Amino acid sequence: MDYKSYIAQRLKIENVSEEDVQGMLEVPPTNDMGDYALPCFRLAKILRKSPVTIASELAASYPCDGIISEVAAVNGYLNFKVDRVGFAQSTVAEVLTAGEKYGSSDIGSGKTVCIDYSSINIAKPFHIGHLSTTVIGSALYKILQFSGYKVVGINHLGDYGTQFGKLIVAYKRWGDKEQIERGKLRELMRIYVKYHEEAEKHPELDDEARHYFKLIEDGDAEANELFRWFKDITLREVQKIYDRLNVKFDSYAGESFYNDKMQPIIDELKEKGLLKMSDGAAIVDLEEYGMPPCLILKKDGSSLYATRDMAAAVYRKKTYDFYKCLYVVAYQQDLHFKQFFKVLELMGKEWAKDLVHVSYGMVSMEDGAMSTRTGKVVFLEDVLDKCVEKARAVIEEKNVALENKDEIARQVGTGAVIFGALYNNKIKDIVFSFDKVLNFDGETCPYVQYTGARCNSVLKKGGDIGAYKVENLTEEEYALIALLGNFPSVVREAGEKYEPSFVTRYAVDLAKAYNKFYIANKIIGSEENVKNFRLALTKAVKITLENAFRLLGIEIPEKM
């Protein structure tokens, strides 16, 4: 039962849509005035009446029933009281019946969303800077799919550019096939760094690199074989990380995929009179829109990042006919997206309005920044390994009797890394700290996982859950029920605002509410009817925590 939508459906307010009403409904911090409240201040402008009048008029006309049992106007608020007993009975039953599907909906049915995320660069390290795009993109994938959308996950690989010429030069001079097969990305990076050191002293290396890059473009067999090999090594490596993070893609069409798809766009830009020459380069002037020009072709006629992105957008529209196309990319590229979205709009693509840059903040480690060129880089793989290792040490310290310690450490350590990137509002910069993400007592992943495991152990001890009839509710029970009932709207809002942190925070709130309940309410050993209800409630919490975490790509251990 989604109470907000239930109330919104019944509250008819002129000139305000049901959805807007639903968005205005709040859950008051304490339940003494009511379980839901509509602040009428925001309606005052639209209805040209005072909030107090609006509240009392709405209170008089709202049709109370067995679900919303009482409505009252208090100081410009309209307060709704839910029939708690009926609510509890129906909510728990609904969660238990829906199981893994609880929280899902079909609001997206018939619509396709493309999500461009992770989008790593070939032969460059998969580092901590890629964590957010990877896990935010993947969570949005799961959230939107759970809401009924058809989702296409795209890894827009950075597999085009002069760096591949440089890499061939480096390989030919300082590389060794076997050593690279063994050292993989790190070895490729080592020779790439070496290239840059040497090129400072011997700038002629850059000419050689350009030559090799041209050979790749011209279809030279040897150059392309090397390029494919670099690509293979990279993809094999990152696949391991994707598996660990529960991340999947439907397409790996990267920048080079668009080599032969840009000409029609350039032609169209010309035809529409949008292309201008500036210092030998072809640009689209965006001064009128307060932006620097969008570079389409370099002096030498080669294409640019934006040109490829435009070709990719056109291709995606044609291939998937998307309802929205999301780009999960850090805020440093805000301008890039604004620019090419605008150019597509100027070309008359009415769907340009459906392109969305899902911008997010930076992740850095406690000890500072990184750069590929100098080789000071924090590999995501190392962060995962270290976090699992540290989780293992904490588990060792806390509970020596546990079986499967390695498996639990994997779930806790990996989950903590993912959670670390999904807990805050996505636009915030994050400083990653192992101690913080692995703290069992904070608003953290292990805390939620521990609560899930606690539910499991209660359910195991409690045995079969017999029939029950809810008769009255403690405050803790009701708080828990209210949260459970909210999960479907949390999922919907997370999908609409592209904000997985809503789900993460929800999971923490639910875990906190369960632990409060657990401390204050006896479960096993209570009178049969009460025991059965509390066990059913525990099961509903376990299901909902698992569903929330599944959307984030985090597992909950059986025992902890």
Residues taking part in catalysis: 124, 127, 130
61 Rama class: left (phi>0) / alpha (psi -120 to 50) / beta: alpha
- Amino acid occupying residue 88: A
Of residues 259 and 472, the one with the C-beta less far from ligand ARG: 259
Binding residue for ligand ARG (CB under 6 A) from 11, 143, 329, 541? 329
Phi, psi dihedral angles at 297 (to 5 degrees) = -135, 140
| Cα 462 to Cα 534: distance, rounded to the nearest angstrom | 10
Residue 133: count other Cβ atoms within 10 Å of its Cβ.
Answer: 22
Binding residue for ligand ARG (CB under 6 A) from 62, 102, 126, 327? 327
Query: Contact 458/535 with Cβ under 8 angstroms?
Result: yes
Q: What is the 3-state secondary structure (H, E, C) of 157-205?
A: CECCCCHHHHHHHHHHHHCCHHHHHHHHHHHHHHHHHHHHHHHHHCCHH
Taken in order 133, 136, 141, 142, the sign of the CA dihedral is positive
Extended beta strands in 371-503, E state:
430-432
CA 486 to chain CA centroid, Å, is 20
Of residues 59 and 325, the one with the C-beta less far from ligand ARG: 325
Of residues 156 and 390, the one with the C-beta less far from ligand ARG: 156
Phi, psi dihedral angles at 206 (to 5 degrees) = -65, -35
Per-residue tokens: 533: 């209800």
Provide the minimum distance between the beta carbon of 307 and ligand ARG in the complex, in angstroms, as a whole number: 11
- Name the segment binding ligand ARG (CB under 6 A); options: 73-81, 114-122, 365-373, 460-468: 114-122
Taken in order 12, 15, 16, 18, the sign of the CA dihedral is positive
Of residues 292 and 463, the one with the C-beta less far from ligand ARG: 292
Provide the minimum distance between the beta carbon of 34 and ligand ARG in the complex, in angstroms, as a whole number: 46
Site size toward ligand ARG (CB under 6 A) is: 9
What DSSP designation does 293 have? P
Binding marks (x or -) toward ligand ARG, 60..99, rule CB under 6 A?
----------------------------------------
CA of 299: how far to CAs of 283, 359, 410, 451, in Å? 10, 31, 51, 60
CA of 455: how far to CAs of 273, 382, 537, 548, in Å? 65, 32, 10, 15
Of residues 53 and 333, the one with the C-beta less far from ligand ARG: 333
Of residues 86 and 161, the one with the C-beta less far from ligand ARG: 161
Of 409, 419, 433, nearest to 506 by C-alpha is 419
Provide the minimum distance between the beta carbon of 154 and ligand ARG in the complex, in angstroms, as a whole number: 8
Of residues 121 and 456, the one with the C-beta less far from ligand ARG: 121
Residue 370: count other Cβ atoms within 10 Å of its Cβ.
Answer: 17
Q: Binding of ligand ARG at residue 36 (CB under 6 A)? A: no
Per-residue tokens: 141: 């994938």
Q: Binding of ligand ARG at residue 116 (CB under 6 A)? A: yes
CA of 367: how far to CAs of 282, 375, 551, in Å? 42, 15, 31
Query: Contact 25/82 with Cβ under 8 angstroms?
Result: no
Phi, psi dihedral angles at 82 (to 5 degrees) = -85, 145
Of residues 120 and 388, the one with the C-beta less far from ligand ARG: 120
Of residues 116 and 381, the one with the C-beta less far from ligand ARG: 116
- Name the segment binding ligand ARG (CB under 6 A); options: 24-32, 68-76, 116-124, 160-168: 116-124
Provide the minimum distance between the beta carbon of 383 and ligand ARG in the complex, in angstroms, as a whole number: 18
Restricting to residues 470-529, name those near ligand ARG by CB under 6 A: none
Provide the minimum distance between the beta carbon of 497 and ligand ARG in the complex, in angstroms, as a whole number: 21
- Name the segment binding ligand ARG (CB under 6 A); options: 113-121, 165-173, 285-293, 318-326: 113-121
Query: Contact 399/151 with Cβ under 8 angstroms?
Result: no
Q: Binding of ligand ARG at residue 119 (CB under 6 A)? A: yes
Provide the minimum distance between the beta carbon of 327 and ligand ARG in the complex, in angstroms, as a whole number: 5
Restricting to residues 274-313, name those near ligand ARG by CB under 6 A: 309, 312
- Name the segment binding ligand ARG (CB under 6 A); options: 72-80, 115-123, 202-210, 496-504: 115-123
* Strand partners for 77: 39, 74
Provide the minimum distance between the beta carbon of 152 and ligand ARG in the complex, in angstroms, as a whole number: 13
Binding marks (x or -) toward ligand ARG, 152..191, rule CB under 6 A?
----x-x---------------------------------
What DSSP designation does 372 have? T
Q: What distance separates the 2 farthest-apart alpha carbons in the chain? A: 85
Provide the minimum distance between the beta carbon of 555 and ligand ARG in the complex, in angstroms, as a whole number: 28
Provide the minimum distance between the beta carbon of 479 and ligand ARG in the complex, in angstroms, as a whole number: 42
Collapsing DSSP to helix, strand or coil, 295 comes out as: strand
Collapsing DSSP to helix, strand or coil, 301 comes out as: coil
Of residues 97 and 332, the one with the C-beta less far from ligand ARG: 332
Binding marks (x or -) toward ligand ARG, 307..326, rule CB under 6 A?
--x--x--------------
Provide the minimum distance between the beta carbon of 119 and ligand ARG in the complex, in angstroms, as a whole number: 4
Restricting to residues 120-139, name those near ligand ARG by CB under 6 A: 121
| Cα 451 to Cα 471: distance, rounded to the nearest angstrom | 26
Using CB under 6 A, list all residues that contact ligand ARG.
Answer: 116, 119, 121, 156, 158, 309, 312, 327, 329
